Each structure stands twice: as structure tokens, then as C-alpha cells.
Amino acid sequence: MGIVGIGGMGGHHIKLLLDRKIRRAKLAAVCDLNAEFLARYPDVAPFTDVREMCRSGLIDAVIIATPHYAHTPVALQAFKCGMHVLSEKPLAVHKADAEKMIKACPRHRKFAVMMQMRMSPTFRKVKEIVDAGELGRIMRVNMMATHWYRTNKYYALGGWRATWKGEGGGVLINQCPHDLDMLQWICGMPTRIHAHCGFGKWHKLEVEDEATAFLEYANGATGVFIASTAEAPGTRRFEIAGEHGKVLIENNQLRFLRNDVSALKFIKTSKRAFAAPKTRDVTVSVRGQDKGHAGIIQNFVDSILDGVPLIAPAREAINQVELTNAMIYSGATGTPVDLPLSGRTYKRFLDDLISGRIKP
């Protein structure tokens, strides 16, 4: 395994490998543009050039933990050399780059994304409940991700964060990819998004530090997604309402309220004006430990060696990129966006944000 980008997150993945937390994988190379960082790992082959690392014959797979814009060129280079790739989130800054990466992945090579919330036993349980049809027809979803509080000092640390040019957005692209992945993994993709974003509303920033999006789904369901880096105390809450009841995750606690009869049938059949279906608080057992990042890396390794399915394949992670792009586009233009979003159109729009031709 070779790791590209050995700052905060790359350093964390390196530690997992060096501490032997990942079975059947060995850290054989590290790569960073900053040669000083490489000296931290004297027993691992150092590279400042991705191509050289991939051609060294030392590695079979690459973990990308660089700033967002570099995910695409690094992955393309790695695929050219026949590597398997696990990219940090977001898969790419925009949909066009994500599509390019997925297309470049050779057959028989694995391409995964670090969507580690898919390892959470609580979220896995909710997905199980929804996929099994236990809620029946989904009517409404509500996700609040306002627990990402950040100060001006955080943003003033500078570097690549919180600019159009450096990372391609704010709270939606940096903090929310995991939340948005859960939203689409469990509830599917909406067909239309109308978002209101605050661009530098609470911090000294050009990108969004607040977003409220209204979502419409093909089956008639609606949703609201709210994110902020300015709210304290913040809220992390996910609620899905269906005809047979409601599931709610708050503070990682899962609650399942099940209706005795379908709420939609009850509307039609009840003889009483103010009656509602009886509801039971169902005890749901959530088993297992959240293996987080280590779980996704282990699954990547097991998929390469044994062919087990990827838990977070790139072809699914592109949905999160599309949601982020659509919310920023809608928020900046004040218009609703129909999905699928055109990757090319968004790329042109983002170029205009970067150059300052468009100021939201």
C-alpha cells in the first residue's frame, strides 16, 4: 500500500497500517509534495512524485489523502499504472472529475472512497430497516448537520480550505460528505433540489458556511437538509418518515416508531376525524462496533485479495459529489436544480466562481 498526502488524514491512515490494524496489508511507500513530512517515516520508501511511487513496483494499491482537487489527477495517474485506489472523501470536487476518475479505473481494479459512516452499526441498521420496506412508502426525510461548528481561527489557518480555488466549497464539500452519503445511501437520490446557502454569512469566507436544501423525490417524498459551521450547540439528526412509522437517529441513538396500520391507508379508512394510527416504540438492537476508517481500508484490502464487494465504491460515492454540487449551484443562482446535474455545466460554473466572474 502507498499513501499519497501524509498530512492530518494520511498520517492517521499510516498509523493504522504501521500499528497493524489492517490485516494482510503493509505500508510500502509514502508520497507527499512536502519532502519534510516524508522524513517522519524513515522505514517506508519516500516519494515526492506519485508516478514514481506507482511505478516503483513496491505497491499494489494507493490511498489518496491529499486536498480535494488533487484526488482526480492522483487517481488518474494511479489507474494508469494499474493500481487499486481508495480515495479520501469527497471523491472529487465536482461531478465531471468524479466521472473521469470512474471511467479511468481499469476493469479488475478496485476503486473505493473513504465513506466511513457506512461502517456505523446504527446507520447500517437504518438502511436495513428502509431496504426491508419496514417503513413502507417513504414520505419525508429530514437531516440536520449543524454540528460542524468552526471558528474564524480555524478558517484563518488557511492552506487549501474554504476557498473555491482551494477546495471547491465550504461546509457542503468539507464537512458534509459523510452526512450526504448517508442521506443518499439510505433514501436514494432526489430528483430536484432547491437550496438556500449563506456564503460567508457567519465567517470571513467566500464559500458557504450554511445551507438549507429542499429535496423532492420521484415517489413524491420531500426532504430537508440543513448544514452549518456556525451553530452552537449544533444538531446531528436524521429522521425518515414512512407510511408505517418513523426512524430517528440523534446522538447516535436509534429510535423506531412503528404504526400498527399504514398512515396512508388510515387516512382513507378511519371513521374518526381526529384519530391517528396507534404507534409502538420498537426496540431495535444495534450490534457491532463502528470500525470507521479501519473498516473501510480493511474492506478495500479484502476486496482486492478475495473479491468481496466494496462497502463504499466510487460509483456510489459520486452521488454525494452531485448533491454537494447541486446545492451549491442552486444556492448561488437562486434556482432549483433538476438531477441528474450536468457535470460539464457545474464545472463551468465552478470555474466562474474561482475566477470571480460569479460572486454569489
Total site size for ligand NAD, rule CB under 6 A: 24
Within 145-164, which residues bind ligand NAD (CB under 6 A)? 159
What nine digits make up the cell of 342? Answer: 450536468
| Residue 114 contacts ligand NAD per CB under 6 A | yes
Q: How far is the CB of 174 from ligand NAD (least distance, A)?
A: 6
| Residue 118 contacts ligand NAD per CB under 6 A | no
Helical axes 314-333 vs 95-104, angle rounded to 10°: 160
| Residue 4 contacts ligand NAD per CB under 6 A | yes
Closest CA to 159 of 35, 5, 23: 5
- Distance of alpha carbon 261 from alpha carbon 74, whole angstroms: 53
Within 5-24, which residues bind ligand NAD (CB under 6 A)? 5-10
- Distance of alpha carbon 181 from alpha carbon 319, whole angstroms: 7
| Residue 94 contacts ligand NAD per CB under 6 A | no
- Given candidates 16, 28, 29, 37, which one binds ligand NAD under the rule CB under 6 A? 37
- Distance of alpha carbon 59 from alpha carbon 112, whole angstroms: 17
Give the 3-state DSSP-derived string for 66-120, with helices as H, strands as E and coil as C: CCHHHHHHHHHHHHHCCCEEEECCCCCCCHHHHHHHHHHCCCCCCEEECCHHHHC
| Residue 32 contacts ligand NAD per CB under 6 A | yes
| DSSP code, position 47 | E
- The span of 63-71, 130-138, 214-222, 240-248 binding ligand NAD (CB under 6 A) equals 63-71
Q: Which residues contact 334 (CB under 8 A, 6 or more apart)?
A: none
Closest CA to 122 of 296, 1, 238: 238
Q: How far is the CB of 171 from ligand NAD (least distance, A)?
A: 12
Residue nearest ligand NAD (C-beta atom): 7
- The span of 2-10, 78-86, 241-249, 266-274 binding ligand NAD (CB under 6 A) equals 2-10
| Residue 170 contacts ligand NAD per CB under 6 A | no
| Residue 67 contacts ligand NAD per CB under 6 A | yes
- Given candidates 1, 77, 78, 89, which one binds ligand NAD under the rule CB under 6 A? 89
What nine digits make up the cell of 201? Answer: 454569512
- Given candidates 16, 17, 38, 68, which one binds ligand NAD under the rule CB under 6 A? 68
Site residues for ligand NAD per CB under 6 A: 4-10, 31-34, 37, 50, 65-68, 70, 74, 88-89, 114, 116, 159
